[in-house]
Amino acid sequence: MAPLKHLEMENPIIDACFRDFCSSHGILTVEDFLIHDLYELAAFAERQVDADRLKEGITVMLSLVEVKCRPWLNGMELLEDLQRNKQTLSSGDNGTDSLLQGGLREGQVTELVGPSSSGKTQFCMQAAASVAEKQEGSVFYIDTGNSFSARRIAQFICGSSAAAVLRKRVLSRISCHTVYDIYTMFDTLQGLEVALRSQMNVNECRLRLLVVDSISSLITPILGGSGSQGRALMVALGYLLKKLAHEHNIAVLVLLKFRGIGCVILLQSSFFLISPSVLKVTNYTVGAGENGKTKPALGETWKSIPHVRLMLSRDNRNNSCTISILKHTSMLSGQTVTRKDNQQCL
Amino acid sequence: MREHEAARDWIRSDETAKQMLSRVLGDRAFLLLPPLHRVPLRAGNVVEITGSSPTAKTQILIQAAIACILPKTWNGVHYGGLEKLVLFLDLDCRFDVMRLSDMLKHRLLEANRIGNGAWWQLEESSGVKNCRGAQDKSKSKSKIVYDEELYVSCMKRFLYLRCYDSLELLSSLKTLHYRIRLQEACGSQVGVLMIDSIGAFHWTDRLSSSLALDKNNRKSLSLTNVVETIVQEMKKLMRVHSLVVIATKATIYEEKYPTNENNRKLSSNNDKAQQPPFREFMPSSWQAFVTHKIFIRKSGDHHQSSGQQSLSAYSLEWLQPQLSSIDRFIVDDSGVVIVS
């Protein structure tokens, strides 16, 4: 909240008497200026001795606000920006790529939901390996649960003929950051934003993928209660991710664990037999949803944050893994693709 | 004599009732934007579409936008649009321009197919509809062509801006008047102002209100103040330009009421007071500003006859003005399609 006197150097009209007039109406910073009615202010200025100068000051303030605003883009300019800057990154798995019509899109936040040990972290690491190797972009991997494994990523870098030098180069493009609470997360992301903005044209190895594994462990500790702090921080984090994705042409992949129906499952013996993995309650926040349905771990507000929501579910009988689309900006939801488990990349 | 003349001039009418009606209907005409066609909208109306996520609210906005940016006729083909600008304020920051582009292309092809009368065939290659084609009539399989120039001129009528927080929103609204004037100088008129997700900054603004310093004489950036200023700026805009405002709102509290439609009908018959089916969280200044309200909820799956996978259907209900009929619709490639 910069006070008005900082503007005086470049705009001499915002002098002391203009600032006095403004503070008599309770306007001390530019943000205060935004929530006041300007016509009313101009009418008050009319009554003052130096009315013209004051009104000119108001006009200059308004033009400063306008300079800071983003320009309105028309449909053709949006399309051009999309086609030129925002490419589709392969996620490393052919099935997912065909489901998502190309893969992860730069400029979008993709969310991956799934119960514990359904392969979400494996998916992330495979995507990171694919982006680092095939698209030659760098990856910013934020790890909140110590599940990052460089060895596993090295396994995903395909080809037994991959030379050690190539492997080393690809792995050097992935940077891993451990973050255990939301304030460090804000710190890290804002530092990243500053670094990206000040970066000169380094076209090779520009940041293409940002992975957050997992975002629910950062947010669930602060949610809860009727206060708005937790949800406000969650929304602020979501918007920071969306801003990073759009302004710097990055694909953002976030992992989410969802709440299960722990107590209800134990009563239904049929479920007990078929999916024993559901009983692992260590990573869940157990809570009964309405009518026994699962509830998303971060609540209703988080549903408006990601562009694309994918659900990963595992069938232990067939050793297969199904990815389905819960929400997509330009595709029908409900489409699924199933793949067999594989130790190596496909 | 001159006093008589002056008095007579004063008594003489400016225009007849018929002239006035035709002028008002021309200036502020009724708009029928599908799928919101049940209630005709006029300039000055504020429509609020509420629904949880995901309930195809943005799809409805895109469909209404297409109806607005298309021209009435072009090269002899009737499109039935309003040929006006659409201002899209994206507060949700999730807008996908590919979806707009695909839906517009579908509309153009559809209108071309109906308009030309002949039976054209869309060429489908591996699931991707190939819309462009040569105008080579000697080939046995004719390909559809849509007018590229028309497509470009329509896309240029769609103006988009995204805001990442309330301050950006306020500064955009304050400077909007001048920008609209610049656009109107080029000859185009604004028809609709769309806001995607008006409650997007609700939580962050609520946090600012609890953290605000309580200094006298200084207006804090609290939730009520911000929304009041937004409403004030929009009212000023609507006084000068004739536009319709359509805003979507995502519910941020989980639905406490039964989601089953039958249950809701029974409960509404028993209750005398009309309870809204969602918990209202916008401040009263916004609620007073809204003139029309719509509520959308999921309503089970719709099984298509052609054997494709079932699509999820949604039901659209007008809360203000209260209509007894509920529209059910699905979303497919061409947009929002009303099913029943």
pLDDT tens-digit profile of B140-153? 334 557 788 889 99
Q: Is residue B95 part of a domain?
A: yes
Report in angstroms the alpha-carbon separations of B204 from A109, B207, B210.
20, 5, 10
Mean pLDDT of A113-117: 83
* A330 interaction partners in chain B (CB closer than 8 Å): 96, 98-99, 102
- Across the interface, whether the CB atoms of A76 and B94 are under 8 A apart is answered no
- Across the interface, whether the CB atoms of A79 and B226 are under 8 A apart is answered no
List CB contacts of B16: < 8 A, sequence separation 6 or more.
none
For chain B positions 229-258, those within 8 Å of chain A (CB to CB) are 229, 232, 236, 250-254
CA-nearest of B339, B319, B321, B320 to B331 is: B339
* Contact of A212 with A121, CB cutoff 8 Å: no
CA-nearest of B30, B113, B107 to B62 is: B107
d(CA A100, CA A91): 9
d(CA A232, CA A239): 11
Rg, Å, chain A Cα set: 25
Tell me the one-letter amino acid at A7.
L
What pairs with residue B318 in β-bridges? B294
A300 and B CB contact within 8 Å: yes
Map residue B339 onto helix, strand or coil: coil
Query: What are φ and ψ of residue A207, in 5° steps?
Result: -70, 125
CB pairs under 8 A between A and B: 152
pLDDT of residue A325: 84
pLDDT of residue B231: 93
- Across the interface, whether the CB atoms of B162 and A332 are under 8 A apart is answered no
pLDDT of residue B49: 92
- Across the interface, whether the CB atoms of A72 and B161 are under 8 A apart is answered yes
Q: Residue B317: which domain range?
A: 42-114+145-210+219-254+280-303+310-339
Which of A76, A231, A334 is closest, CB to CB, to B312?
A: A334
pLDDT of residue A345: 36
d(CA A121, CA A126): 8
Q: Which of A29, A30, A32, A35 to mutate to test the interface with B (most CBs of B within 10 A)?
A: A35
d(CA A239, CA A306): 10
B154 and A CB contact within 8 Å: yes
- Across the interface, whether the CB atoms of B93 and A243 are under 8 A apart is answered yes
CATH of the domain at B326: 3.40.50.300
List CB contacts of A289: < 8 A, sequence separation 6 or more.
A259, A261, A295
A20 and B CB contact within 8 Å: no
Token digits of residue A53 = 């100068």
- Across the interface, whether the CB atoms of A69 and B172 are under 8 A apart is answered yes
Token digits of residue A68 = 């800071």
Q: pLDDT higher for B294 or A340?
A: B294
pLDDT band at A261 (very low <50, low <70, confident <90, very high): very low
pLDDT of residue B194: 93
Using one digit for the tens of pLDDT, what is the confidence trace for A183-229? 999 999 999 999 888 875 555 678 999 999 888 888 888 887 777 78
List CB contacts of B105: < 8 A, sequence separation 6 or more.
B131, B146, B151
B105 and A CB contact within 8 Å: no
Using one digit for the tens of pLDDT, what is the confidence trace for A60-106? 888 888 888 888 898 899 999 989 888 888 888 888 888 888 888 89
pLDDT of residue A200: 56
Task: Search chain A and give the residue with CA nearest B85.
Answer: A74
pLDDT band at A343 (very low <50, low <70, confident <90, very high): very low
Query: Is pLDDT above 60 for B35?
Result: yes
* Contact of B289 with B235, CB cutoff 8 Å: yes
d(CA B149, CA B166): 37
* Tally of structural domains, chain B: 1
Torsion sign across C-alpha atoms B109, B111, B113, B115: negative
* Contact of B169 with B9, CB cutoff 8 Å: no
Using one digit for the tens of pLDDT, what is the confidence trace for A51-62? 888 888 888 888
* A229 interaction partners in chain B (CB closer than 8 Å): 207, 210
Using one digit for the tens of pLDDT, what is the confidence trace for B262-288? 444 444 444 434 566 778 888 899 999
d(CA B206, CA B224): 9
Q: Is residue B246 part of a domain?
A: yes
Give DSSP secondary structure letters for B92-116. S----HHHHHHHHHHHHHHHHHHHH
d(CA A261, CA A281): 10
Q: pLDDT higher for A263 or A1?
A: A1
Q: Is residue B119 part of a domain?
A: no
B337 and A CB contact within 8 Å: no
- Across the interface, whether the CB atoms of B225 and A243 are under 8 A apart is answered no
CA-nearest of A118, A343, A109 to A249 is: A109
Which of A25, A34, A74 is closest, CB to CB, to B174?
A: A34
d(CA B36, CA B56): 13
Residue A85 C-alpha, separation from nearest chain B C-alpha, in angstroms = 14
* Contact of A90 with A123, CB cutoff 8 Å: no
d(CA B172, CA B181): 14
Residue B302 C-alpha, separation from nearest chain A C-alpha, in angstroms = 13
Residue B115 C-alpha, separation from nearest chain A C-alpha, in angstroms = 26
A37 and B CB contact within 8 Å: yes
Map residue B208 onto helix, strand or coil: helix
Task: Search chain B and give the residue with CA nearest A62.
Answer: B175
* B103 interaction partners in chain A (CB closer than 8 Å): none
A304 and B CB contact within 8 Å: yes
Q: In this structure, what DSSP letter does residue B72 have?
A: S
Token digits of residue A297 = 């771990």
- Across the interface, whether the CB atoms of A75 and B154 are under 8 A apart is answered yes
Q: Is residue B31 part of a domain?
A: no
Residue B53 C-alpha, separation from nearest chain A C-alpha, in angstroms = 6
Q: Is residue B261 part of a domain?
A: no
CA-nearest of A28, A23, A26, A15 to A57 is: A15
Give DSSP secondary structure letters for B257-297. S---HHHHHHHHHH-SS---SS---S-HHHHHH--EEEEEE
Residue B322 C-alpha, separation from nearest chain A C-alpha, in angstroms = 27
Q: Is residue B1 part of a domain?
A: no
pLDDT of residue A212: 92
Query: Is pLDDT above 60 for B130?
Result: no
Q: Is A47 exposed, middle or buried (0-12, 13-18, 19+ CB in 10 A)?
A: exposed
Which of A76, A228, A290 is closest, CB to CB, to B155?
A: A76
Using one digit for the tens of pLDDT, what is the confidence trace for B151-193? 999 999 999 999 998 889 999 998 888 888 888 888 788 889 9
CA angle B225, B227, B231 (to 5 degrees): 115
Q: Is residue B286 part of a domain?
A: yes
Q: Which of A20, A99, A105, A235 to mutate to test the interface with B (most CBs of B within 10 A)?
A: A235
pLDDT of residue A341: 65
* B302 interaction partners in chain A (CB closer than 8 Å): none
- Across the interface, whether the CB atoms of A300 and B93 are under 8 A apart is answered no
Considering chain B, what percentage of its residues have pLDDT values greater than 70?
79
Q: Which residues of B7-18 are buried (b: 16+ CB within 10 A; e: fewer)?
A: eeeeeeeeeeee
Q: In this structure, what DSSP letter does residue B237 have?
A: H
pLDDT of residue B267: 45
- Across the interface, whether the CB atoms of B53 and A303 are under 8 A apart is answered yes
Q: In this structure, what DSSP letter does residue B221 have?
A: -
* B170 interaction partners in chain A (CB closer than 8 Å): 34-35
Report in angstroms the alpha-carbon separations of B20 from B13, B15, B16, B17.
11, 6, 6, 5
Residue that is written with structure tokens 């029974």 in the block: B266
Q: Is residue B269 part of a domain?
A: no
- Across the interface, whether the CB atoms of A69 and B53 are under 8 A apart is answered no
Q: How far is CA A231 from the centre of its chain?
A: 15
For chain A positions 107-146, those within 8 Å of chain B (CB to CB) are none
Task: Search chain A and give the residue with CA nearest B151.
Answer: A76
pLDDT of residue B217: 65
Residue A72 C-alpha, separation from nearest chain B C-alpha, in angstroms = 5
HEC assignment per residue over chain A = CCEHHHHCCCCCCCCHHHHHHHHHCCCCEHHHHHCCCHHHHHHHHHCCCCHHHHHHHHHHHHHHHHHHCCCCEEHHHHHHHHHHHCCEECCCCHHHHHHCCCCEECCCEEEEEECCCCCHHHHHHHHHHHHHHCCCCEEEEEECCCCCCHHHHHHHCCCCCCCHHHHHHHHHCEEEEECCCHHHHHHHHHHHHHHHHCCCCCCCCCEEEEEEECCHHHHCCCCCCCCCHHHHHHHHHHHHHHHHHHHCCCEEEEEEECCCCHHHHHHCHHHHHHCHHHHCCCCCCCCCCHHHCCCCCCHHHHCCCCCEEEEEEEECCCCEEEEEEEECCCCCCCCEEEEECCCCCC
Residue A224 Rama label (left phi>0; alpha psi -120 to 50; beta): left
For chain A positions 41-100, those within 8 Å of chain B (CB to CB) are 62, 65-66, 68-70, 72-76, 78-79, 82
